[in-house]
Structure 1
Amino acid sequence: MTAAPSTLADVLIADGPAPEYAEKLALYGQFVGAWTMEAVIHTDDSQRHEARGEIRFGWVLDGRAVQDVWSLPGFFHGTTLRIYDPDQDAWHIRWNDPVKQYYTHQIGRADGKDIVQHGKLEDGTAIRWRFTEITPDSFHWIGDHSRDGGASWQIQADVRAKRIKT
């Protein structure tokens, strides 16, 4: 008889992807590890801010999801839970930032070599978050929004990430 797991980490963290969906889970699984980021944040009042931070991605929930923590001091500190849905061949993505009280739900899919996530805020603003220029050791992440239904997009965050650990 084995002892029951004693901590949240014991039941949350997984060693790798669930085998039955390993190929599909690689879309976000490729980011598992530790990253540094250099970010440019654009505020609604047209101010531009530069900052450095860290990102950690890991397997969770028996390897059926990828969770990450993004920390950019002075701007955001939150976590994303990315869960693959085989019926939709898409990912349900929930971003939670308890510091800024900013929460989103998006659907993510591969788009050629990129990953694109679409969602809407409570006020109807469309959001689009994109992973581009993806390599094993770097990626470019762009977060933008549209108040006109996607006819035009305004960049809110432009992040360049570099891997520091797998």
Structure 2
Amino acid sequence: MHHRVTFLALSFALLGPGRSGAQQAPAPQGPPPEASQFDFLLGEWSVDVTSKSHGTPPRYHGVWRAAKTLNGLGMVDEYGVSDDAGRIVYAGTTLRVFDTKTATWTMRYVDELGGATGRWSELVGVKQGSEMHVEQRGQSPDGRTTILKIRYYNIQPDHFSWSADRSSDGGATWVPEYLRLEATRGVSTPSSK
């Protein structure tokens, strides 16, 4: 009996005053204000792309769609572009999550190029002034590690600009504005129908 009383007293002491034996989930909190840094992407955008990529047209058009997920801490966006004949040039999906511990955006991106899927990239993003800056690391179709330094800028309610400098040699040399994109909110293009 003495052991049972000691055990109960110890149990209550460990649980502390006012607690029950079951752990309660933390009270839900809304996302921090920084989790809205990519909110300008929400909705549907018509995009015009200029490319220096070999094997793709120098200009193409498409649609970029984004929606919130993960109780406001994340975003999923899909991007697809076609040439003037309506053939898909490139498509991809990004999961963006705001990391509350590091105050950065952690992202995973997968693309489809010419019918091949599964090329995953890791991305990290931060807000710098009025711009969003992202570094993307992944594999090119020929197996080389590539780095893109991406800027989202000229951000307005109905427009934003996007550019990416590219390195295929670990950052030793760069192709400036390897890709450049102009996005206009909600304008229908032939590839979005």
TM range (shorter): 0.7 to 0.9
Bigger-Rg structure (1/2): 2
Task: After TM superposition, give the deviation of residue 157 of structure 1 in Å.
Answer: 1.6
Aligned to 1:14: none
Q: Which has the higher strand share?
A: 1
Structure 1, residues 35-88: CA drift from partner, whole Å, max 9, x if none?
10111121147x752111111111112222011111102321111110000111
Distance 1:20 1:105 in 2: 23
Aligned length: 146
Task: After TM superposition, give the deviation of residue 92 of structure 1 in Å.
Answer: 0.6
Distance 1:27 1:20 in 2: 11
Aligned to 1:15: none
2:109 matches 1:72: no
Amino acid at match of 2:89: F
Q: Which has the higher helix share?
A: 2
Distance 2:116 2:148 in 1: 17
2:47 matches 1:54: no
Distance 2:127 2:164 in 1: 16
Task: After TM superposition, give the deviation of residue 100 of structure 1 in Å.
Answer: 4.3
Give me the TM-score of the superposition, normalised by structure 1: 0.78
Give me the TM-score of the superposition, normalised by structure 2: 0.68
2:128 matches 1:115: no
Superposed, which structure 2 residues align to 1:1-166 within 5 Å? 19-21=30-32, 23-44=33-54, 49-73=58-82, 74-98=88-112, 99-101=115-117, 102-122=119-139, 123-154=144-175, 155-164=177-186
> Which 10-residue stretch deviates more, 91-100 or 137-146?
91-100
Q: Which runs of 5+ in 1 are unaligned?
A: 1-17
Q: Identity, % of aligned pairs? A: 23
Distance 2:96 2:76 in 1: 6
Q: 2:160–2:183: 8 Å Cα contact kept in structure 1? A: yes
Distance 1:100-1:161 versus aligned 2 partners, 3 A rule: farther
Q: 1:76–1:100: 8 Å Cα contact kept in structure 2? A: no
